[in-house]
């Protein structure tokens, strides 16, 4: 199976219209993927944490440099979501379910909803309320930390090979829930169904909504974790790139399906982190980690610093020979 046919890749690509960041198809605990953690997705799409930048002891024991000025919010915010779906997925109508029992034991109406893709591919996410979000600040500090530690990370005995192939992340924000369901549609004929029970809570203007999948519908993947399941993440993705000094062109590593913040920064606005041959021997090549901001902001880079970085990047580009 090619990477582009994997369900986690299809799901992330299809959910790119959502501003919350990179969508996760596989279940990842909020205890492992959280703001200020540096890690990567391996060849199977599984999250591998390297070090928590908010843990001074872990930094010291791992031989990483300390990080100053970072702030991690300890009190999560809360939000409430209805079903989230990709652009090509349509809600093809709900109906009152007659003669159906409610396993959540709520008193109220039961509605059956159905979803279908108009172009053959699509994705749907349903979450239990509330959805909590955690974040860490700021991106400039994290990029500077990676610049100071990139050589050690790429040469790491356990993680270095994977980072050289797949790159790395520093997480700045996560959205989590205790229960969620995800579905991927891979044909125009495919449909998924979900049942909602709506209980009008006394003294509340909003209904209390519960959901469950139909037992005959195997398209849903349901994940539960009382400590939190990560549904979206934002952060800085450091994409790997090899420079062939003899041909003066970038050598591609792998195809990435990621969401860059519209109207803010893209990978060309932040200078790449270049690893010299004295750090890691790639013969006549230089290795770069190219920062790309993904999802929602974890603290903006200052404009004046960005201008200085662009100037330095231009100078660095001219110096490659």
Q: Average the pLDDT over 55-62 and give the result.
A: 97
Q: Tell me, what's the pLDDT at 215?
A: 43
- pLDDT of 312 over the 80 cut: no
pLDDT of residue 250: 46
Residue of 294, 159, 319 lying closest to 233 (CA atoms): 294
Confidence of residue 290 (pLDDT cuts 50, 70, 90): very high
Lowest mean pLDDT of 21-35, 155-169, 298-312, name the range.
Answer: 298-312
Closest alpha carbon to 143 in 297, 30, 273: 273
Percent of the chain with pLDDT over 70: 67
> Model confidence over 198-231: pLDDT tens digits?
554 443 334 444 555 554 445 789 999 999 999 9
Cis peptide before 33 (omega within 30 of 0): no
* Residue 298 scores a pLDDT above 80: no
CA pair distance 142, 160, nearest whole angstrom: 19
CA 50-52-58 angle, 5° bins: 90
CB atoms inside a 10 Å sphere around CB 165:
13
At residue 151 the predicted structure's pLDDT band, cuts being 50, 70 and 90, is: very high
Residue 80's φ and ψ, nearest 5 degrees, are -125, 130
Say if residue 138 is preceded by a cis peptide, omega within 30 of 0.
Answer: yes
Is residue 125's pLDDT more than 90?
yes
* Structural contact between residues 205 and 256, judged by C-beta atoms closer than 8 angstroms: no
pLDDT in tens, 84-108: 999 989 877 655 444 444 444 444 4
Q: Which sequence spans correspond to the domains of the chain? A: 9-26+36-75+138-175+234-319, 77-130+178-229
How far, in Å, CA of 194 to CA of 92, rounded?
Answer: 12
Per-residue confidence band for 283, with pLDDT thresholds at 50, 70 and 90: low
Strand 168-185 versus strand 207-213 pairing type: unpaired
pLDDT at 315 over 80: no
What pLDDT shows up at residue 90?
A: 83
Q: What is the mean pLDDT of residues 51-77?
A: 94
More confident call, 117 vs 133: 133
Q: To which residue do tokens 């449909």 refer?
A: 191
Residues 172-187, mean pLDDT to the nearest whole number: 93
Euclidean distance between CA atoms 82 and 51, whole angstroms: 34
Q: Are 206 and 136 in contact (CB under 8 A)?
A: no
The predicted pLDDT at position 1 comes to 60
Reduced to 3 states, what is the DSSP secondary structure of residue 160? helix
Give the percent of the chain with pLDDT over 90. Answer: 49
Q: What stretch of H or E contains 141?
A: helix 139-154
148 burial (CB, 10 Å; 0-12 / 13-18 / 19+) is: middle
Q: How far is CA 76 from CA 58, 132, 134, 179, in A?
A: 23, 6, 5, 17
Interval 123-145 mean pLDDT: 94
Q: Is the pLDDT of residue 239 over 90?
A: yes
Contact indicator for 231, 179 with CB cutoff of 8 Å: no
Predicted confidence at residue 245, as pLDDT, reads 54
Let me know if 57 is exposed, middle or buried by CB neighbors in 10 A (0-12, 13-18, 19+): exposed
User: What is the torsional sign of CA 214, 218, 220, 226?
Assistant: positive
């Amino acid at each position: 199976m090619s990477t582009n046919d994997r369900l986690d890749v299809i799901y992330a690509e299809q959910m790119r219209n959502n501003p919350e960041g990179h969508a996760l198809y596989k279940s990842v605990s909020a205890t492992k993927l959280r703001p200020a953690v540096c890690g990567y997705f391996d060849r199977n799409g599984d999250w591998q944490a390297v070090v928590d930048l908010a843990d001074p002891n872990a930094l010291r024991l791992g031989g990483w440099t300390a990080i100053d000025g970072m702030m991690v919010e300890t009190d999560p915010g809360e939000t409430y979501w209805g079903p989230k779906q990709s652009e090509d997925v349509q809600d093809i109508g709900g109906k009152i379910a007659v003669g159906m029992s409610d396993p959540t034991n709520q008193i109220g109406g039961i509605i059956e909803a159905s979803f279908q893709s108009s172009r053959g591919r699509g994705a749907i996410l349903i979450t239990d309320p509330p959805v909590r979000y955690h974040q860490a600040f700021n991106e400039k500090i994290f990029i500077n930390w990676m610049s100071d530690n990139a050589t050690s990370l790429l040469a790491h005995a356990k993680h270095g090979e994977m980072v050289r192939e797949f790159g790395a992340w520093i997480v700045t924000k996560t959205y989590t829930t205790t229960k969620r369901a995800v579905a991927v549609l891979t044909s125009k004929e495919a449909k998924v169904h979900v049942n909602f029970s709506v209980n009008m809570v006394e003294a509340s203007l909003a209904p209390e909504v519960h959901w469950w999948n139909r037992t005959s519908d195997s398209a849903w993947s349901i994940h539960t974790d009382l400590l939190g399941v990560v549904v979206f993440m934002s952060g800085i993705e450091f994409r790997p790139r090899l420079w062939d000094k003899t041909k003066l062109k970038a050598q591609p590593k792998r195809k990435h399906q990621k969401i860059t913040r519209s109207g803010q920064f893209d990978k060309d606005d932040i200078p790449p982190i270049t690893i010299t041959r004295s750090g890691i021997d790639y013969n006549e090549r230089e290795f770069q980690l190219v920062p790309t901001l993904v999802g929602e902001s974890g603290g903006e880079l200052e404009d004046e610093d960005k201008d200085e970085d662009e100037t330095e990047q231009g100078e660095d580009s001219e110096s490659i020979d």
